[in-house]
Chains A and B, each alone.
Chain A
Amino acid sequence: MAGGPSLAAVLGSAILVLSVIGPARAEVGVSAAAASDYRFEGLSLSDGRPVLSASLAYDRKGGLYAGATALAVFAHHGGLQPLGYVVYLGYSQRMSPDLSWDIGVANGGVSQFLDKRYVDDYTQIYIGLTKSNVSAHVYYSPSYFGESGGAVYVEVSGAVRPAPHWRLFGHAGLLADLGDHGDPDQSRVRADARAGLAREFKNFELRASVWATAPAPVFPAGYRQARQGAVLEAVAFF
């Protein structure tokens, strides 16, 4: 997709500019993670393979935020290879001490290390609310891995803390294919859910989660995958 990389360039440049303007008035977070799978809206973008990632998050006083993630995958052949990236730029504001809204644009892509037919990037505009530890967002993708017609994704996420340093988290999402692909038997809507447990350490976190998707992914093309599975993750914060 020609538009995706251009947007990624714009967002990446924006992060560069933001990071140069008064970093003392902003916070810059850095993390690195290893995970047994890289999942995105009910899909595995790493074909169920383990991934490494490095993320940066920039929050500027006043509500502007941005971030970037770079991903690498342990491929079937060829060892560790670049997998993809996510860049985003957004704005958030509090409506009350524990309620805030945010709006933003994200662009992500995965490289074609797999021998599959798919176009490898997406762009999303999103808007949502976060109250305490529950959030709800709506995403619109005019360009969704090369599928015509775009897609809408709606998700709700939440977390509870049953004990100090432990976090139970959950996620439920619904993806609607807005395009007309000429296959009446193919479901235009897909649901996905995920639930897991996180153990927090100082500057470190371990997560284990299970996920399920129904019906099995057939959209976008080239992503026919399993309907349930588990993910293990380790994240370090710097």
Chain B
Amino acid sequence: MHRVRPGWLSAALAVGALLCLAHPGWAAAPPPSAADAGPGRQVLLMLPLPPNHLRPGADYVGAWGDGMGRSARHRAASAIARANGLALLDDWLMPEVGVDCFVLAVPEGQSAADVAARLSRAPGVAWSQPVNTFRTRSEPAHGGRYLLAEPAAREWRLAKLHEVTTGKNVRVAVIDSRIDQAHPNLAGQIDLSENFVADSALAPELHGTAVAGIIAANPVRGAVTGVAPGARLLALRACRQTPSPANPSSATCDSLSLARALEFAIAHHAQVINMSLGGPPDPLLAKLLDIAASDGIAVVAAFDRELPKGGFPASHPGVLAVADEAWASPPSGVYRAPGDDVPTTSPGGRYSLVSGSSFSAAQVSGLIALVRERAARPVRLAVYPGGGLIDACATVLGFAHSCGADQAPRRDVAASLRR
């Protein structure tokens, strides 16, 4: 009863032809060892994802279920790696950006930038880029100063603002080093915690713990009052502590860990993302920042005076770039907030003073959380005329309001801090 049909013949021919095309580069040389390839010796290879569509005859729903597509892109990336003498280390599907991202190790003697430029010209490649390195923006605290109160508590009149808003239930993603979740001042303030750094370190780290305390420390349980004690933190570890004698809290991150953390923050509906770090411009991170902006997420970044245009992501359009208010004349568009000798949480249940634009950025992230509790509208930071110095009361309460007659003129405060 069975009969041979033209449909069968065509399908069989198609299967045969595509099988032949499915295995390019079998004869290529084996890739070099990549065991020691760190971020400086890695490139990202981005292969474009086709638009999601039906696959008749197969159970298929969106990018997650598209095993055939992933397999095809993995095969293509392997062939490109072999053809260029590179080792394929890892891959990561990024439907939000529309690419499948592959991590390749660059052998000694070759520049990651040169390799990325070469790969970017290969057929079928969306783009390629080096895995860039980013650093947190902190400085040693002066420490010798007897500090009576937290700078933001005093200058921003936090007590008055907290009568109106504490940033209750606003989700703030802290993309940083590991936060001490057991610190009494931070206990119960963290909704989610994820690690995007490929190491086995488990100890809490200085920079992330300090930033988290400035944003959301709970005054009921410790000595520090966060700018937004009602906020809920997403503790996203994308940086690892790389201390130096001059700066024990310094931490280092790379394109991949930051991108994964950013994607996680976007997917988990963060309303504010704090990035107290800086580095070179990065196309992958730029695309994720654009997605965050289109989702209405406020991204706050530390402005680094030592990097061109303040470093990336502070230089990216739509990102709120923040410098320490002690800097009297920042470039146009850069905000200034307290960032000098700020008391905050430190690992092991301790406290410390911290300084730098990292912590100015954290103050602003907390401030935005205060605004977001009251309204989901895009946040406009109110500033005093000239110099980008933030007027917290006007930002939270509106331009027609002030925090009372005892509100100190900000320019005077900034001047006193510089002395």
Contact = CB atoms under 8 A, between A and B. Distances in A.
Is the pairing of A and B real? yes
Interface of A: 4-9, 11-13, 15-16, 19-20, 22-31, 54-61, 63, 65, 67-70, 81-82, 85-88, 90, 92-94, 97-98, 100, 102, 104, 106-109, 111-113, 121, 124, 126, 128, 130, 132-135, 137, 157-159, 161, 167, 169, 171, 198, 200, 203, 205, 207, 233, 235, 237-238
Given A98-B96, A113-B2, A167 B65 contact: yes
A130 B52 contact: yes
Interface in B91-127: 95-98, 123-124
A98 B124 contact: no
Contact of A104 (B52, B54, B124): B54
B51 A100 contact: yes
A13 B10 CA distance: 6
B8 A82 contact: yes
A91 B151 CA distance: 59
Nearest to B123: A24
Contacts of B12: 70
Nearest to B58: A55
Contacts of A126: 54, 56
Contacts of A61: 48, 50, 124
Interface string B281-312: 00000000001000000000000000000000
Nearest to B79: A24
Given A28-B22, A94-B98, A100-B51, A135 B62 contact: yes
A53 B2 CA distance: 19
A102 B17 contact: no
B124 A86 contact: no
Contacts of A171: 59
A205 B67 contact: yes
Q: Chain B contact residues (Cβ within 8 angstroms of A): what range? A: 35 or more
A133 B65 CA distance: 9
A87 B7 contact: yes
Contacts of A16: 10, 13-14, 17
5 contacts: A9-B7, A22-B123, A27-B50, A108-B56, A113-B1
Given A20-B17, A29-B71, A94-B51, A158 B61 contact: yes
Contacts of A85: 7-8, 11
A104 B53 CA distance: 10
B18 A30 contact: yes
A89 to B, nearest CB: 10
B6 interface: yes
Contacts of A157: 60-61
Contact of A106 (B1, B47, B57, B291): B57
B10 A159 contact: no
Contacts of B60: 157
B11 A70 contact: yes
A128 B61 CA distance: 12
A95 B393 CA distance: 41
Given A12-B13, A200-B67, 4 more contacts: A59-B50, A85-B8, A102-B52, A111-B2
A59 B21 CA distance: 13
B64 interface: yes
B10 A11 contact: yes
A134 B61 contact: yes
A59 to B, nearest CB: 4
A87 B57 CA distance: 8
Given A27-B72, A57-B68, A109-B7, A93 B51 contact: yes
B73 interface: yes
Chain A CB count within 10 A is highest, among B8, B13, B124, for B8
Nearest to A108: B57
Interface string B31-61: 0000000000000000110111111111111
Contacts of B50: 27, 59-61, 63, 65, 92
A202 B11 CA distance: 27
B14 A56 contact: yes
A20 B55 CA distance: 21
A202 B56 CA distance: 23
Nearest to B67: A237
A157 B98 CA distance: 21
Contact of B11 (A23, A68, A113): A68
Contact of A102 (B6, B51, B64): B51
B246 interface: no
Contact of B68 (A4, A20, A24, A31): A31
Given A16-B17, A94-B98, A158-B61, A112 B1 contact: yes
A116 to B, nearest CB: 11
Contact of B56 (A30, A31, A59, A124): A124
A238 B76 CA distance: 12
Contacts of B405: none
A27 B73 contact: yes
A28 B96 contact: no
Contacts of A12: 7, 9-11, 13-14
B198 interface: no
A14 B221 CA distance: 69
Interface centre among B11, B57, B64 (most CB of A within 10 A): B11
B56 A104 contact: yes
